[in-house]
Amino acid sequence: MTQAPTSYDRYRSDFKDFEGKLPSNGPAWLRDMRKQAMASFDEVAFPTATRGNERWKYTNVAPIAKATFEYPFEADLDRVAAPLLKRVAPWDEGWTRLVFVDGHYSPTLSTTGPSANGLQVTNLAEAVRANGDLVEQHLGRHAAVEEDGFTAINTAFLRDGAFVHVPDGDVDGPPLHLVFATTERPHPTVSYPRSLVVVGRHSRLTVVESYVGLAQGEYFTNAVAEIVADEGAQIEHYRYLVESPDSFHLGTTRVRLGRDSAFRSMSFATGARLARNDLQVLLDAPGASCDLKGLYFTSGTQHIDNHINIDHAQPHTSSDQYFKGVLADRSRAVFSGRVLIRKDAQKTFARQADKNLLLSEGARINTKPSLEIFADDVQATHGATAGAVADEAIFYMRSRGLDEETARALLINGFASEIVESVRLEPLRARIDQLISGALPAIGTEAAA
């Protein structure tokens, strides 16, 4: 049994209080799930040992494990208004929206709209009451608690979150925006965002997850999302992470794809002191495909980790990963991409690439793309690069009349634009462009110093 630090006592005491505050008439399966998850957390805890632990070899979560975070049993939802969220998150009034403040659902800020043809967009607490069988079928079934302490503690405190069910044949719905915001509090807090998205046969969904900080102090966001695509379903997924500079963010996403379904995802990350995007996609039937892209910007002493795991469990499946990072100062980034092609997954296509731009001598990237192939009729490639801005390119642009700062900024923007241009939602693409443009003058100056 892993020995947990004394700081974990706060999680245990909060969980005891949490159980006492829960409605006594909640479903037995959910109560049992929480208790089993807490038992798993007591067993595995957080992965503070990096030696011999390939999943966490380059990311030290000891600062999270040693810190004490309070669980906010209540949230002052009136403290957050829509204009404040619009300043920090991508926004479009035409999007369907679910908003959570410090882990608590805000019906005032949410705009779910009328349900049609069986479409259900609501908070998990309501979904358990209204559609309990479907929730029970999927909730906690794709994000396992037995080997991951972060998923375990999130599940132990599972009370609310986002629930989306797109019925068979629904292709005309507006984009869905899930907003998880953290506010300023007297002491460091922890929140447990949870999402369950189930997309039916031959249906289509565009979904944006935004994790934003409205606080400047230390806090911990421990998010878990489960996404299920049935036969022929098409999911376009975006993950927008702009947390506060002193925050910690652990995001776990588990995706299961059915026959001929497609999952297209793009993640953008910056801001947090330590952030991890742990994405696992199971291609569970012939014809399933995923296209994963990512862009991360780090500066100061930030640390961002993209841990991507693709499981080709069936034949005639395909996956494509393409991530880019821009690192400045003494920041760190990790890209760990694993592609597993099982014995029976013949006629599989898999491609994986990670490219990084290092803007200072102190910046570091640990990149480890890997292929595990047990089938013999496959096409699979992987690769990774890291380098500085080319002096020849700077010289060429300066010879055309540009100053060095502008030249560097244009080259960095050009490096990032390949990923940004893949964003099909104009408000989100504009927000990312705005963040990059705002950071480029400072980055260009630091790099030239």
Query: What are the tens digits of pLDDT across the range 171-225?
Result: 888 999 999 999 999 999 999 999 999 999 999 999 999 999 998 889 999 999 9
pLDDT score of 147? 84
Strand (E) or helix (H) holding 192: none
Confidence tier at 6 by pLDDT (50, 70, 90): low
Q: How far apart, in whole angstroms, are the C-alpha atoms of residue 125 and residue 19? A: 15
pLDDT score of 407? 77
Which 8-state DSSP code applies to residue 329?
Answer: T
Q: Is the pLDDT of residue 440 over 80?
A: no
pLDDT score of 350? 97
Which 8-state DSSP code applies to residue 70?
Answer: B
Is residue 245 exposed (0-12), middle (13-18) or buried (19+ Cβ within 10 Å)? Answer: middle
What's the pTM? Answer: 0.94
pLDDT score of 272? 94
The pair of structure tokens assigned to 16 is 């005891």
**3-state SS class at 421:** coil
**3-state SS class at 95:** coil
**Residue among 165, 163, 175 at smallest CA distance from 117:** 165
Confidence tier at 374 by pLDDT (50, 70, 90): very high
**3-state SS class at 194:** strand
Q: How far apart, in whole angstroms, are the C-alpha atoms of residue 340 and residue 312? A: 6
Around Cβ 412, how many Cβ atoms within 10 Å?
22
Distances from the Cα of 368 to the Cα of 28, 55, 306, angstroms: 43, 11, 10
pLDDT in tens, 27-44: 999 999 999 999 999 999
Instruction: Please compute the mean of the pLDDT values over residues 132-137 and round it to a whole number.
Output: 95
Around Cβ 29, how many Cβ atoms within 10 Å?
13
* Concatenated DSSP letters of 279-342: EEEEE-STT-EEEEEEEEEE-TT-EEEEEEEEEE-SSS-EEEEEEEEEE-TT-EEEEEEEEEE-
pLDDT score of 442? 54
Average pLDDT, the chain: 91
Q: Is the pLDDT of residue 114 over 70?
A: no
Strands 194-199 and 318-327: unpaired
Q: How far apart, in whole angstroms, are the C-alpha atoms of residue 321 and residue 197? A: 22
* Concatenated DSSP letters of 133-147: HHHHHHTTTSS-SSS
Q: How many residues does the chain have?
A: 449
pLDDT score of 395? 62
The pair of structure tokens assigned to 102 is 């410090």
pLDDT score of 2? 47
Confidence tier at 76 by pLDDT (50, 70, 90): confident
Q: Is the pLDDT of residue 448 over 70?
A: no
The pair of structure tokens assigned to 212 is 């934003």
Confidence tier at 426 by pLDDT (50, 70, 90): very high
Sign of the torsion angle spanned by Cα atoms 162, 92, 414, 304: negative
Instruction: Please compute the mean of the pLDDT values over residues 308-328 and round it to a whole number.
Output: 97
Phi-psi domain of 70 (left: phi exceeds 0; alpha: psi -120 through 50; beta: other): beta
Q: Where are the alpha helices (DSSP H) in 45-161?
A: 62-66, 82-88, 124-130, 132-138, 149-156
List all residues 6 or more positions away from 417 whose beta carbon is below 8 Å from its beta carbon. none
The pair of structure tokens assigned to 201 is 């046969």
pLDDT score of 412? 87
pLDDT score of 437? 83
Q: Is the pLDDT of residue 326 over 80?
A: yes
**3-state SS class at 5:** coil
Q: Is the pLDDT of residue 357 over 60?
A: yes
Confidence tier at 113 by pLDDT (50, 70, 90): low
pLDDT score of 1? 44
pLDDT score of 279? 98
Instruction: Please compute the mean of the pLDDT values over residues 235-242 and round it to a whole number.
Output: 98
pLDDT in tens, 381-403: 999 998 887 667 676 667 777 77
Q: Is the pLDDT of residue 449 over 60?
A: no
42-76 residues labelled b (16+ CB within 10 A) or e (exposed):
bebbbbbeeeeeebbebbbbeebbebebebbeebe
pLDDT in tens, 272-306: 999 999 999 999 999 999 999 999 999 999 999 99
**Residue among 400, 384, 387 at smallest CA distance from 447:** 387
Instruction: Please compute the mean of the pLDDT values over residues 6-23 and round it to a whole number.
Output: 89
Confidence tier at 78 by pLDDT (50, 70, 90): confident
